[in-house]
A and B are shown apart, each in its own frame.
Chain A
Amino acid sequence: MAYSPHTPADRERMLAAVGVTSVDDLFADIPAGVRASSFSVPPPLSEQEVRAELSRLAGRNRIAEVSFLGAGAYRHLVPSVVGEVIGRSEFSTAYTPYQPEVSQGTLQSIYEFQSLICELTGMEVATASHYDGATATAEAALMACRLTRRHRVAVSTAVNPQVRRVLATYCSGPGIEVVEVPADLAVGGSGLTPVEAAERVLDDGFACLVAQQPNFFGGIEPMGELADASHAVGAQFVAVVEPTSLALLAAPGTYGADIVAAEGQPLGIPLSFGGPYVGLMAARMESVRQMPGRLVGATRDAQGRRGYVLTLQAREQHIRREKAASNICTNQALCALAATAYLTSVGPAGLAEVADLSITQARHLATALETAGLAERRFSGPYFAEVALRVPDAVRRHAALAAGGTVAGLPLESEYPELHDTLLLAATELTTDADIAALVAALEGTR
């Protein structure tokens, strides 16, 4: 099935106008020695055959009936109205708004997005978005290096391991050294980043400390104290946050964060096997010239109408080229639009309900498993909507449950060898009492 509308007559007319007899003449400048020797792409399919093939692949997935899997991607309600908004092809089939006069829809929605992220995070400026939370975090660390002119970055081991790996990959580019601050992962320990551990690592060679709130294990970190420890050595504090938690938890701008990064997937973006997601970044206005990524600003036209444009573009690759803060060319505009539609459709009350239900069900889950004698909390401290639980023979039992369509969170041992027999379970507003009862029953069945 092809989408080209040209009939043979159309092609003849164009060939005649160009003055060649065959379209192959237009490729004559490809030297014979470099022409493709084969092109064995399977034959075309009609629409119904394409549907059948994609349905086949979708059918080979089994979407768990009961799932407590989080660890950086969360199963939340995507309100129906969000799908309507991003389904409008005026949004989805538009390009980057380089001609602002015909792109006010995209530009104004990004301005609204920037405004909402600033409000959630308590920061003064937010970008138009990045590829995902992990790359936003990496870019934030590099930004801190530029701001401080230092070459070392400290990161807590309680930050999501995928984020830490991406940070390491990005820092390997300009040769920035990444040093770990060990979290207290002992059995019965806090599961948090001890401030003394941060202080032992940090010195005036560090551009920043990166910590996550809630942390990878759902724990509530002493972010204000970690910020103080960073500032004591003149380093920036980079807070990696979860956006729905900001309905209840303190905004990073109020506890001394210099740069904020986040994964925006929980804001109305489907799981979709890991992407596309949306990275959030926010900072103070005084740092804006070192911020990577697009920014939309308000202005006016000659007729006195308010309008929006991409601004401060001199930071970006198409102008600075080799001197740009980052090579980033895109933002994740349609995903940012989904987040904007989500936040405006749930509002502050709805977001608070999501957070409240998530933390209630996480606690309900922990109590139910503890009461049944099936699990114990690994860490002693308070947690948000995710909790690390010790379950004997966790890996075998997790696999048995998965084969039956129940995902009991994430076994942590492969990422944290010391967290033997530990599962990380998340709850959201979609977690029902029946889900929890089903998990208890399933785990019972694998004793």
Chain B
Amino acid sequence: MSADLAGDASGRGAAFTSPDGGEVLTVVEPLIFASSRAGRRAVRFPAPSARAKAAAASQPAIPADACRAAQPRLPEVSELDMLRHFNRLSHLNFAIDLGFYPLGSCTMKYNPKVNEWAARLPGLAESHPLDPAVLAQGSLELEWLLGELLKEISGFAAVSLQPAAGAHGELTGLLMARAYHRSRGEGEQRTRVLVPDSAHGTNPATATMVGYTAVTIPSNERGGIDLAALRAALGPDTAALMITNPSTLGIFEDQIDQVIAAVKEAGAIAYMDGANLNAILGRFRPGEVGFDVMHFNLHKTFSTPHGGGGPGAGPVGVSERLVPFLPGPQPILVSGDPVEVRESAWAGRGTPGATFALEPGGARAESIGQVRAFTGNFGMFVRAYAYIRSNGGDGLRQVSNDAVLAANYLRVRLADAYDLPFDRICKHEVVFSGRRQKRANGISTLDIAKAILDHGVHPPTIYFPLIVEEALMIEPTETETLETLDHFVEIMHRVATLAATDPDALRRAPETTPVGRLDEATAARRPDLRFVAEPVVAEAG
């Protein structure tokens, strides 16, 4: 059985064919299935004792027709081969721990390793989510303390840690908005969610998931939301406005007070997408200017690692009027005065006498329920808590100061080489346009990004936000040295020069990465989404 797992998966010397025909391809790193041989073992487990087997024999047997006919065809490999495989795969990745990763909207800051140390402490890593409270005081206290810190950072009345990601937080926020409107007898009439044209795609997608119609509001020529258009769109059928601040253009909404006033007057919920919180720590607290709900991205602002695409965490902060609708169960302080408990914890005296628990089930009749099992991505809470305590208030303020300064530094240093659609002070990220290069030689922002790859740094975000032609969004974060920023400026200038003098070089890029540009059209037309013993070419549709 395993022989045929290996033969087709090795690629080397075997006919590993491309999805659209019989061409033999070379393989950078074979699939794990290539090392599979019948009988190879890595991790072993003990056998049940004779006594256990005897005791088990008197219990009802599992019926044969509920069982598999044959073992699953998983690879049989040695531990060494398997480790080598994953190590070699890891070498094919670019990562923050290797180089500059200025992806706008993602906040690719350094992921501190003391956070990893903390998350692996057995007392935290082995805590079962359903353990009786008496055994889980540490987990519950950590969740409570993190909630308190996020409240203070954002100015909100309460926080739920439950959502597993930013988009999940958005879902939670809109479900709460709907529950709020229903509680006031306005659930049927409020059907629309307003979203700026610069919004991240998750915003309108979330609106649809919650049964709302997403309505787009244009941005003005200064990069903020068009207030007149917003006012015209607001009405008794508006459930919520979802707005990112600073915007996805990296620009602070300087009319934010008027925006919120207009939303409130229409009786709608004001939702802030908190993806760009890295710009405003200590400077702006959404909860105290009238926002009703905001999601945090712990994997952006609060340094938890991106993991190649998760796990993250997307807690939400809410205003007083949305508290009844928060998902549950919430961690609560059962005994102890909250002010004293906080002060004692912040002063390093621990929290003697304080006891914590989860809200009893059904404690809040108007809760929207649960958006995931258990209380949230606890492993990320540990990391974020360690990060916030490491930085402290002054450190977090410094984070935003340095993030914003670095982005503006790149703005002025690159403004000669690339078009700047909004030529004004930015916050933690800056958006350029590749339209000059496009008009000159047909070089797209994609070509520019691929050329950057050959210089050993990760390109900025491309083609987002959608309202900027050939968008190039740069977010340096606060954890990069001036030398790194200057080196990036050199790279960007070199690529701009090449775009003018040797555009074909950019069209061939990247040439020094493990693979070159990949045929995404064929991947979508003839999807090959899994390994089987003979390569399967399926047509989706």
Contact = CB atoms under 8 A, between A and B. Distances in A.
Q: Do A and B bind each other?
A: yes
Interface residues of B, number: 225
Contacts of B252: 27, 29-30
B501 interface: no
A45 B164 contact: no
A330 B309 contact: yes
Interface stretch (B131-139, B229-237, B491-499): B131-139
A247 B73 CA distance: 10
B421 interface: no
Interface stretch (A54-62, A198-206, A230-238): A54-62
Interface string B307-336: 111111100000000000001000000000
A29 B90 CA distance: 43
Nearest to A346: B43
A149 interface: no
Interface string B351-366: 0000000000100000
Nearest to B402: A4
17 contacts: A43-B394, A49-B348, A73-B128, A93-B96, A112-B33, A112-B531, A131-B311, A166-B369, A254-B69, A285-B539, A305-B27, A329-B167, A330-B312, A344-B77, A344-B85, A383-B60, A384-B62
B441 interface: no
A89 interface: yes
Given A43-B346, A307-B28, A344-B42, 11 more contacts: A27-B252, A36-B285, A59-B123, A60-B141, A72-B130, A73-B128, A81-B82, A102-B92, A249-B62, A300-B518, A306-B28
Given A92-B111, A322-B204, A344-B75, A357 B82 contact: no
Contacts of A402: 131-132, 134-135
A422 interface: no
Contact of A275 (B44, B108, B374, B399): B374
Interface stretch (B262-270, B385-393, B431-439): B385-393
A88 B307 CA distance: 10
B32 A299 contact: no
B478 A4 contact: yes
Contact of A297 (B16, B373, B524): B524
Given A2-B398, A93-B96, A318 B311 contact: no
Given A40-B152, A273-B129, A360-B56, A298 B45 contact: no
Nearest to B305: A92
Interface centre among A27, A128, A337 (most CB of B within 10 A): A27
> Shortest 5 CB-CB distances between A and B: which pairs?
A274-B374, A58-B123, A44-B392, A274-B129, A334-B307
- Interface of B (DSSP majority class): loop
B85 to A, nearest CB: 8
B453 to A, nearest CB: 6
Contacts of B149: 41
A446 interface: no
Contacts of A187: none
B219 interface: no
B175 A169 contact: yes
Interface in A1-16: 1-6, 10-11, 13-15
A194 interface: no
Size band of the interface chain A makes with B: 35 or more
A312 B209 contact: no
B529 A125 contact: yes
A425 interface: no
Contact of B254 (A29, A114, A350): A29
A42 B56 contact: no
Interface in A30-77: 30-31, 33-45, 47, 49-64, 67, 69, 71-73, 75, 77
B71 A305 contact: no
A90 interface: yes
B527 A274 contact: no
A106 interface: yes
Given A64-B135, A382-B60, A334 B310 contact: yes
A102 B513 contact: yes
Interface string B79-109: 1001101110111111111100101001011
A26 B44 contact: no
Interface string A248-290: 1111001000000001000000111111111000000110110
A380 B60 CA distance: 8
A39 B130 contact: no
B218 to A, nearest CB: 15
B181 interface: no
Given A61-B124, A162-B373, A341-B82, A105 B45 contact: no
Given A90-B93, A361-B48, A367-B58, A246 B482 contact: no
Please indicate which of the listed interface residues B131, B204, B311, B401 has the most CB atoms of chain A within 10 Å of its own CB.
B311
B72 A348 contact: yes
Contacts of A271: 125-129
A181 interface: no
Contacts of B108: 95
B43 A275 contact: no
Given A101-B514, A273-B128, A131 B74 contact: no
B143 to A, nearest CB: 8
Contacts of B427: 26
A56 B427 CA distance: 37
Contacts of A91: 90, 93, 95, 307-308
A118 B90 CA distance: 23
A344 B32 contact: yes
B440 interface: no
B244 interface: no
Contact of B139 (A2, A61, A363): A61
A288 B539 CA distance: 10
A250 B375 contact: no
B76 A348 contact: yes
B152 A347 contact: no
B98 A333 contact: no
Interface in B396-421: 396-399, 401-402, 404-406, 408-409, 411-413
Interface in A339-380: 340-341, 343-354, 356-357, 359-361, 363-364, 366-368, 380
A286 B242 CA distance: 35
A89 B55 contact: no
Given A101-B517, A220-B62, A311 B130 contact: no
Given A2-B395, A298-B528, A306-B27, A220 B63 contact: yes
A329 B166 contact: yes
Nearest to B1: A348
Nearest to B461: A98
B71 A348 contact: yes
Most buried by A among B33, B82, B515: B515
A56 B350 contact: yes
A317 to B, nearest CB: 4
Contacts of B404: 23, 26-27
Given A39-B397, A321-B204, A173 B175 contact: yes
A21 to B, nearest CB: 12
Nearest to B411: A18
A75 to B, nearest CB: 7
Contacts of B482: 6, 10, 13-14
B309 A360 contact: no
Contacts of A246: 68, 72
B287 to A, nearest CB: 10
A351 B214 contact: no
B255 to A, nearest CB: 8
A251 B530 CA distance: 17
A356 B90 contact: no
B520 interface: yes
A419 interface: no
A69 B132 CA distance: 10
A277 B374 CA distance: 10
A2 B167 contact: no
A71 to B, nearest CB: 6
A44 B49 contact: no
